Structure 1
Amino acid sequence: MASPTIHLQAYPFKPRVFIISDISNEPDDAESLCRYLLYSNQFETEGLVACTSTWMRTKVCPQDMIKIIDAYASAVDNLNKHTHPDFPYPSAEHVRSLVRSGPPVYGMAAVGDDIPISEGAKLLVSRIEAASDQPLWVLCWGGANVLAQALLSIRNSHPAANSAALRSRVRVYAISDQDDSAGWIRAQFPDLFYIASVHAWNQYGMAAWTGISGDRYYGFDAGGPDFAKVTKDWIRENIQVGPLGAAYPDYMFIPEGDTPTFLYLVQNGLGVPEHPEYGSWGGRYGLVDGGQRASGHYADVADVVVGKDGRRHTSNQATVWRWRDAFQNDFAARIRWTMTPDFGEVNHAPVVYVGDDPGPAPVLLEAEAGTTVTVDASRTYDPDEGDRLTFKWWHYREPSATQWATHFEVEELVIRKVDGEGRVVNVTLPPAEKCCVHLISREAVARGQLLHLILEVTDNGTPALTTYRRIMIQATNKELKGGGGGAEAVGDAMKAVVEACQEKGM
């Protein structure tokens, strides 16, 4: 009899991940590492390097990574009873072999042509130079001087064109700037793909990543996020249990501030890593240079989300906290996996088909403005016997917008269920004048907005788990309908749109 794990989600590839962490400056890095290991079956982990930061300037603590990996060693056999057989969890021995130290000094004190690079930076250089058709995701949970050392070493040892080609393989997601090397990196290598919130030094309450759990500590979006699943009581009951959960420390400021870096990469059908502007469990970000790509720096954008209080909240943190219920449930489910080899005792996420495609990659469609397309998710199933599924379809408008006021620019898709469960829907695109005209000139364009339809499928297990699919609909306008009424300035071009929205009370 085939194992039930054969019916779990499979993946087209594993993102390559290299983590740089100031572990032990406070508990949140240890918390994030515990959680990361629960998702390590989805990733090709290529390095775990202990670093400094402004909060811990003169030492690094790789031994504290080892302690958590030792706890993982007691959990990995059970974890492998709850993953697709083609995507097993790595052995603890292998993960231990990836641990290195960065320089035990602060920031740029470790960076220079005459300064030897650390063992951690040497490993990073080797991973960047390795032949691979996948980019390397460098996740910076603390200071960035390990990355700075590696990039400088590559620049000094390769011709300029080769150095640029090697940098093009790197993707960085940093939890703000935590030393003086991060700004140096972006100034020296502006082409580098680099996700990081921009704000004054130590003003973390302004950063998108704090949406993971920081609403009470930092005081943003009052009444919007549901704090229930990040309280110390909930964590004690649902996370600090089992062999790996026992290594998860109590939080001091906010829990798991570094976790959005890898939630961004989780293969659940929602995110598209090469497109930070699309949004995922790890938040949503946009290019700072207006899309000209002279700079590879992605910084915060805002989502409009209806909160627990029933009000609309517009913030950068909302790009993360809007998913909190789902990502905390997923975390709790994986902790339960560590405690039993019995597949039937615990919950597993649905597998969402769109047409004959089991995902998790997005589906791309093309349709003429004003027409209706049918999207069929009827083959979707849950791997746990007896679980019922709920289908929720909605239009994620913000990824299509070029400005803060999304409702001025992106018209709602009209979504109608075809069947009672909502496994099949008809989706009507806006007319050409709404989705296939240039924002300012108002000239008709043949290819208009890329519209994002999200399907959330949630089971009724304990805890309830959600899988997504993103259906991207490219609006077309073959006859160039809907143009006219443009202007040289955005105020003139948008006047009629603004007035119409004001009439609707928007």
Structure 2
Amino acid sequence: MPTRHTGTAPSRLRRGTVAAIAVAVTATGALAVAGRADAAAGCRVTYSVTSQWPGGFGATIDVTNLGAPLSDWTLKFSFSAGQTVTQLWNGVVNQSGSNVTVINAEYNGNLGTNATVTPGFNGSWTGSNPAPTAFTLNGTACTGSTTPTTAPPTTAPPTTAPPTTPPPTGDSTKARVIAMTDGEVDDRSTMIRFLMYASDFDIAGIVQTNSKYQKSGHSRDKWVEAQLTKYAEILPNLRRHNPNYPDASQLQSVLRVGNENSNDLNVAPPSMATKNTPGEQLIINVLLDSDPRPVHVMAWGGANTLASALWRLRTSYSSADFNRAVAKVRIYCIWYQDGGGQWIEDNVREAYINEAYRWDNVWDYQSLSGPSPDYVKAYMTSSWLNTNVKSGHGPLGSMYPQSFVSEGDTPSFLHEIANGLNAHEDYTLGGWGGRSAYDDPGNKPRHLTDTTISDDGDRNKMYWRWIPAVQNDFAARMDWAVSSSYNGANHQPKAEVVGASRRDVSPGQVISLDASPSTDPDGNVLTYRWWQYGDADSVAAKVSINNATSQNAANFVVPNEPGKQVHIILEVADNGTPNLTSYRRLIFTIR
């Protein structure tokens, strides 16, 4: 990202919302539920097409277990018009012909009575796109009612104390990312934070590019290699706090150079002088591999290398390969720093692409606009940086190139950090990486931007509201770099709730909010706060949450707005040093 500029957002940006096509579905079949003998079994499914474009569509499947609690689940259904699931999240998919099987991911196998799980997917279609009409859960038809079953009894899993060391996270729970960087000074700052969070996502590539501000790029400086060398030095300590940090050699193996030709900055892919770069080919290979997870491609500089990859996929690969690749990609651009982002927006309208413009008003704290409180700015000062990153926090922290917080590209991966907000699933949900809205869904159904929206009337608050938690979390990671024992630093609490994260509710229903399953790995005292993220949800009402700072006595009344959603955020903070915050997002759909 370039040095901060001033000025207004481009006038071409328009405000819009995504039209969702919701189809309620009930079906017939049988279910074998793990539970006591003669326990009731049953399920309800709501299938919703959330967006559709020529040849492709996105959908969600709300699956509610009406019977005895399940320790794992398998959902089956069939398409009737040859549709194909190209990628799926919140589960593992297998498709044979028209028959689709979705089994739970490692993190969402437990499905209590009346709990809901929501697999989502992108798919392809030709001709027509009718909704499936028959679903089964563990073999039982989802009719919306229950039937008795004689499943043998099972023993409930034993209750265990919170672990004293964090367990490894399965790859299927992580977001996949590719970082594209032009190597400017703020990119080098962002990369330090990026490496400190390498445990939280799967880094599929680091591609060095250029931008209109760094016209020839900086791969020749070998700055990424230098940071990886320092990362390797602190890796033993990092793994004492989280065993999921990758080897430096693994990260080195996915480092590539893309297009750094200054003559190609504003040239459409067909006419680029530099094509088929190693960085471009890495992007193609990742988008075409067998891993079904979305790939979050983050443009810290220009997007020409990615644009060329998508052009080659369209012109040199099969239509099936192109559709599969485009369905997987999630693009987060820190501005459009060359012609690539705009070319993708205009020519690959199937691609999910986000323009982020507002972050530069936050990280450059001295010119932070709007009514942000002074305590937010305090987390962006030179004093904070020296105390928590540059001084006494290991060789990687000491490499931080600036004397102030210079990280113009950091929000591009903050959504992928495992903090419980799960905003990487949908950038409109809002989280540490900001919040966006669809710009022109009728014309460009997959284009998002942050320029036309606000949180609580402040156009920058979708970013700065999270700053204290974000910076404290980074400070704790830097403590990990120099702490050789798990007990020598603080770790994130685990925010948990009673019940599913997504639930169907009725107008006037009183909803109890219970965070009693939340834990802290360090035994710290926890505090709780429940709040409505009204800018991210769709109800017009401002929900009043009673006992909003209670662990298990909070509640609210569902507004009379059928078809809308209420988003409630649970914040769980510890009293460690620094104090850390984790979240759980609850989405209530009013039926």
- Mapped contact 2:514–2:551 kept (Cα < 8 A): no
Identify the match of residue 101 of structure 1 among 250, 257, 260. 257
SS at 2:290's partner residue?
coil
Cα 1:461/1:29, change in 2 over 3 Å: same
Aligned to 1:242: 394
The alignment partner of 2:165 has SS state of helix
Secondary structure of the 1:414 match is coil
CA–CA distance in 1 between the matches of 2:337 and 2:241? 37
1:135–1:169: 8 Å Cα contact kept in structure 2?
yes
Partner of 2:366: 216
Tell me the SS of whatever aligns to 2:564: strand
Residues 29-81 of structure 1: CA deviation (Å, up to 9, x unaligned): 01111001111111110111111101111243261111111111111111111
Matched, 1:265 2:416: yes
Deviations 1:260-279 (A, max 9, x none): 00002112111332321110
Taking the aligned partners of 1:15 and 1:59, their CA distance within structure 2 comes to: 27
In the TM superposition, what is the alpha-carbon distance from 1:109 to its structure 2 partner? 4.9
Name the one with the larger strand percent.
Answer: 2
Please tell me whether residue 118 in structure 1 is matched to residue 274 in structure 2. Answer: no
Of 387, 390, 395, which aligns to 2:532?
395
Letter in 2 for 1:98: V
What amino acid is the match of 1:465? L
Aligned to 2:578: 463
Query: How far apart are 1:12 and its partner, in Å?
Result: 5.6
8 A Cα contact 1:60 1:102, kept in partner: no
CA distance in 1, matches of 2:381, 2:505: 45
Q: 1:429 to 1:222 in 2, by over 3 A?
A: closer
Deviations along 1:160-193, one digit per CA (max 9) or x if unpaired, are 3542332111110010110122211211111210
Q: Which piece of structure 1 moves more, 319-328 or 185-194?
A: 185-194
Aligned to 1:443: none
1:16-415 mapped onto 2 (5 Å cutoff): 16-23=176-183, 25=184, 27-61=185-219, 63-83=222-242, 85=243, 88-106=244-262, 107-109=265-267, 111-112=269-270, 115-197=274-356, 207-217=357-367, 219-224=368-373, 226-240=376-390, 241-250=393-402, 255-290=406-441, 292=442, 294-300=444-450, 301-305=452-456, 314-355=457-498, 363-385=501-523, 387-401=524-538, 410-415=540-545
In structure 2, distance between residues paired with 1:302 and 1:463: 32
Cα deviation code 1:366-407 (max 9, x no counterpart): 11111101122111111103x111100111101124xxxxxx
Show the counterpart of 1:427: 556
How far apart, CA to CA, are the structure 2 residues paired with 1:460 and 1:250? Answer: 30
Return structure 1 stretches of 4+ with deviation > 6 angstroms: 7-11
Question: 2:558, 2:164 → 1: CA distance?
Answer: 40
Cα distance in 1, alignment partners of residues 167 and 255 from structure 2? 33
For residues 461 and 111 of structure 1, what CA distance do their matches in structure 2 show? 51
Q: Contact 1:456–1:466 (CA<8 Å) still a contact in 2?
A: yes
Please, what is the CA RMSD of the aligned residues?
A: 2.4
Q: Is the 8 Å Cα contact of residues 21 and 141 (structure 1) preserved in structure 2?
A: yes
SS for the counterpart of 1:393 is strand
- Alpha-carbon distance, 1:157 to partner: 1.2
Per-residue CA distance 1:268-291 (angstroms, 9 max, x = gap): 11133232111010000011124x
Q: Is the 8 A contact 1:208 1:317 kept in 2?
A: yes
1:308 match: none
The TM-score with structure 2 as length reference comes to 0.68
Q: Per-residue displacement from partner, 1:325-365 (whole Å, max 9, x unpaired)?
A: 000000000000000121112111111121277xxxxx001
Contact 1:378/1:424, CA 8 A, preserved across alignment: no
Cα distance, 1:96–1:128 mapped onto 2, change above 3 Å: same
The one-letter code matched in structure 2 to 1:383 is P
Partner of 2:312, secondary structure, is helix
Distance 1:284 1:171 in 2: 15
Q: What amino acid is the match of 1:266? A: I
Q: Give 1:100 deviation, angstroms.
A: 1.0
When residues 413 and 10 of structure 1 are mapped into structure 2, their CA distance, relative to the original with a 3 A threshold, is farther
Tell me if the contact between 1:351 and 1:380 (Cα under 8 Å) persists in the aligned partners: yes
Measured after TM superposition, the shift of residue 108 of structure 1 is 4.0
